[in-house]
Amino acid sequence: MIPKNKAAELVDEFMNIKNIKLSDYSRIYLPTAKQCAIIAIDQVLKYSKAHGFIALTDEYLEIKKEIEKL
């Protein structure tokens, strides 16, 4: 998995979440999508550190850095 590609994929998925019908103009924008993706990455990091998945931890730290660059 290439961190830059995975970062873009995660943020894109959050930007394309089907919204609860608040209005016809409801949309998740990039800053919010990035924040959601970082929360997801933090959960993966928490789990992987707790269970000793060091390689996974390193990989997801790189993805988190790429999300922050978007």
Per-residue pLDDT tens over the stretch 39-54: 999 999 998 888 888 8
What does the pLDDT profile of the chain (70 residues) look like in tens digits?
788 999 999 988 888 776 655 565 667 788 988 999 999 999 999 988 888 888 888 889 999 999 999 9
Handedness of CA 61, 51, 46, 6 (dihedral sign): positive
Percent of the chain with pLDDT over 90: 43
With b meaning 16 or more CB within 10 Å and e meaning fewer, what string describes 39-66? ebbeebbeebeeeeeeeebebbebbbeb
Full-model pTM: 0.73
**How many distinct structural domains can be found in the chain?**
1
Q: pLDDT value at position 36?
A: 92
Is residue 30 within 8 Å of residue 7, measured between CB atoms? no
Domain that holds residue 50: 3-18+27-69
